[in-house]
Amino acid sequence: MGAAMRYLSQRYAMPYDVGKAVLTDIGTEELAHLEIVAAIVHQLTRNLTPEQIEASGFGPYYIDHTTGIWPQAAGGVPFNACEFQSKGDPITDLFEDLAAEQKARSTYDNILRVVKDPEVCDPIRFLREREIVHFQRFGEALRDVQDHLDSRNFYAFNPAFDKAGTNPVSM
């Protein structure tokens, strides 16, 4: 959910068509990833008995949400808008996106280390592969943004905001 919101929010400050397209495509795909993860969680929890819920450590979640899907981190922290970033600077945002994709890949790696059920592992492997593709596409978008800028100093200004001659660093 955080990735989808991050990318779909960032696209508005992206001044270049390639970057807008990448952010829109990946943001939309991340909504589908949310649906896949929610389906896995639902399938794993829908038939649990109260004893299984308590023994698994799922009790506090169950008390608040039964087996409904409630977005939260593995540590129990609920999703909120602080989970995604949109700075309004294409270079800053794309570096954030590259890091987010690597963090997601690492999370999937960790899931695959502890879960052995093929009905869980197969879709997680698929999602992991998509994070790698997203990382590559964000790298391509970053190169496109940089190609539009002064090659001697990519980081001198925000291309979404500072127009030619209004670079705050040179003022």
Q: CA–CA separation, 43 vs 46, rounded Å?
A: 6
What is the Cα–Cα distance from 166 to 156, expressed in whole angstroms? Answer: 11
Q: Kindly state the average pLDDT of the residues 155-165.
A: 69
- Which structural domains are found in the chain, ordered by start? 2-46+57-69+86-147 (1.20.1260.10)
The stretch 7-27 carries a mean pLDDT of 97
Smallest CA-to-CA distance from 133 within 8, 34, 22, 24 is with: 22
Strands (E), the chain: none
Distance CA 132, CA 68 (A): 30
pLDDT digits (tens, 9 = 90+) for 1-12: 899 999 999 999
Measure the CA angle with vertex 169, ends 167 and 171; round to 5°. 75
Query: Given this model, what pLDDT does residue 152 score?
Result: 62
The three state secondary structure string of 75-114 is CCCECCHHHCCCCCCHHHHHHHHHHHHHHHHHHHHHHHHH
Query: What angle, rounded to 10 degrees, do the helices at 17-45 and 90-114 form?
Result: 30
Whose structure tokens read 């100093």?
Answer: 153
Burial class (CB within 10 angstroms; exposed 0-12, middle 13-18, buried 19+) of 151: exposed
pLDDT per residue over 60-79, tens digit each?
A: 888 888 888 888 877 878 88
Task: Please state the pTM of the whole predicted model.
Answer: 0.84
3-class secondary-structure state, position 59: helix
Residue pair 79/71 in contact (Cβ under 8 Å)? The answer is yes
Q: Can you read off the two tokens belonging to residue 40?
A: 């896995």
